[in-house]
Structure 1
């Protein structure tokens, strides 16, 4: 694994993205505790009563950011792993991984803070470019071997 520099780069950025997702989950949990907004009745009862079985706009914003991560990072993990097997040049592959990583960081910050539009949607779009590029390159590589 470490002998393949492209795959090692992919693993590095993917691991950072998964760490970011864990951090976002922790932030969501901490917001729930601070704002006393629990989605499960048993959690509300544990923390003061059924009046805390409710939604909170800040918690919901955090949950949406996390869901958006799952909708975008999971496909990246598949595409990047397969793309790494197509023997791309290291520099080009790293640019794909870095652009996706940085755009997802900006997207999360823009979601949580919230930053002025169109920051979040621009970050989302920029992150889609390397994914689409990897997808096309995978399909072209596979098609050339038929």
Structure 2
């Protein structure tokens, strides 16, 4: 399917990250139903009445985890795709993708399970390192072609 092994590795880890985001969305939906905490009045009315148009701390925690994924995974998708075009070595590229992936998994677990600080912050920071590295390498590759 994909001849470029670096890009294939990027696609693999990116797909797993998107799957993780879908799973968080499903968990959030299930929490909304079980806690009867709906953000839209029409949903509350469908599930028991306007009194269920309310916030729930666990639902909100899941929503924040999902929002944080969007703020971080979407830039990774761009950076990883462009980085793959700079012809990095396969091993180094995979290390970048794996560190980001594992950092985001740990971040999500820390967020959803309310693990003791600074677990979530460390996971976030570690996951940003390969993004910053890819960003610098992209800029250097582009600048060297001018």
Please tell me the TM-score bracket, short chain as reference.
Answer: over 0.9
Distance in 1 between residues matched to 2:112 and 2:136, nearest whole Å: 32
TM-score normalized by the length of structure 2: 0.99
Distance in 1 between residues matched to 2:58 and 2:125, nearest whole Å: 24
Aligned to 1:96: 96
| Pair 1:108-2:108 in alignment | yes
State the Cα distance separating 1:128 from its structure 2 match.
0.3
* Aligned partner of residue 92 in structure 1, secondary structure: helix
| Pair 1:27-2:27 in alignment | yes
- 1:55-103 CA-to-partner distances (Å, cap 9, x unmatched) read 0000000000000000000000000000000000000000000000000
Gaps of at least 5 residues in structure 2 are none
Distance in 2 between residues matched to 1:95 and 1:2, nearest whole Å: 19
Aligned to 1:142: 142
Distance in 2 between residues matched to 1:119 and 1:15, nearest whole Å: 24
Distance in 2 between residues matched to 1:2 and 1:52, nearest whole Å: 48
RMSD: 0.5
Gaps of at least 5 residues in structure 1 are none
Task: Count the aligned residue pairs.
Answer: 146
